[in-house]
């Protein structure tokens, strides 16, 4: 994971420049983030974490959409950028594996391409951590690279190696963390990258009831 920290620390300005548009050019992702924000607002608990927030552009978008969002990222460079770009918002250096949040207090968790570098064997613990911080009825939105085949595929992402996931495998892991996935969107970004983009939304039930 330190590999990801060093890698993202090295690309802060380029990354921020590339993604500063708050999803204006990505209608599917924007739609899912909009639906997520609406459902969190409906839940009545506006507290939300943008985990792996990078330069903070989506933390700011969630706040524009009415949430009380804060950002967490393991890259001090990204957090420094986020604080400078959005001085009115809260950003913390921290890890998805141990979020600086008490149990059951959040209405929403957004993990927008934040777990793409997480080795598959570590993903169950990260999802369990996201389930831990959500209140009953709270929502998780995970955006990720998806693949149509049956296997997780490791590939050479521009920043540091990443994984693309069969949607069903990720659904199973979410269920294993006690969450209830209930909405999914998979689309072909028509890019040269050769894989799909996936968005999965899940709800924390009243009892986590993990197997
Ligand atoms: C592909 S970027 C996504 C950034 C932002 N969510 C977005 O959509 O533009 C992945 C981000 O996750 C962060 N990250 C990776 N592993 C992490 C971990 N274990 N804990 C916290 N942040 C992590 C990286 O530092 C990086 O900023």
**Of 8, 52, 71, 193, which is best to mutate to test ligand 1, by the most ligand atoms within 8 angstroms of its C-beta?**
52
Quick one: pLDDT at residue 137? Answer: 96
How many domains does the chain contain in total? 1
Q: In the prediction, which pLDDT does 211 show?
A: 47
Parts of the chain with a pLDDT under 50: 211
- Per-residue tokens: 71: 């950002």
Round to whole Å and give the CA distance between 91 and 78.
10
Q: What are the φ/ψ torsions at residue 18 (nearest 5 degrees)?
A: -65, -35
Q: In the Cβ-directed half-sphere of 195, how many Cα atoms lie within 13 Å?
A: 22
Residue 211 placed within a domain: no
Say if CB 143 and CB 197 are below 8 A apart.
yes
Ligand 1 cavity residues, CB under 6 Å: 1, 4, 8, 19, 52-54, 58, 73-75, 78, 95-97, 112-114, 116-117
Distance, in Å, from the CA atom of 165 to the CA atom of 210, rounded to the nearest integer, reads: 22
Closest ligand 1 atom to 162 CA? 1
Structural domain boundaries, residue 46: 2-203
Does residue 208 form part of some domain? no
The bridge status of strand 162-166 relative to strand 180-187 is unpaired
Which CATH number fits the domain that encloses residue 65? 3.40.50.150
């Amino acid at each position: 994971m330190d590999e990801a920290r060093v890698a993202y620390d090295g690309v802060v300005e380029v990354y921020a420049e590339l993604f500063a548009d708050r999803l204006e050019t990505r209608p599917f992702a924007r739609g899912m983030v909009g639906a997520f924000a609406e459902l969190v607002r409906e839940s009545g608990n506006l507290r939300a974490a943008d985990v792996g927030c990078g330069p903070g552009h989506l933390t700011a978008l969630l706040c524009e959409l009415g949430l009380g969002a804060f950002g967490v990222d393991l890259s001090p460079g990204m957090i420094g950028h986020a604080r400078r770009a959005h001085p009115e918002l809260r950003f913390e250096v921290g890890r998805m594996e141990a979020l600086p949040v008490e149990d059951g207090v959040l209405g929403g968790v957004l993990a927008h391409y934040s777990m793409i570098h997480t080795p598959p064997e570590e993903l169950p613990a990260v999802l369990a951590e996201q389930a831990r911080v959500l209140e009953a009825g709270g929502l998780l939105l995970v955006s990720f690279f998806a693949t149509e085949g049956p296997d997780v595929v490791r590939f050479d992402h521009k920043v540091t190696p990443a994984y693309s996931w069969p949607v069903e495998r990720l659904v199973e892991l979410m269920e294993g963390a006690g969450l209830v996935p209930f909405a999914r969107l998979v689309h072909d970004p028509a890019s040269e990258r050769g894989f799909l983009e996936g968005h999965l939304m899940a709800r924390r039930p009243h009892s986590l009831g993990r197997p």
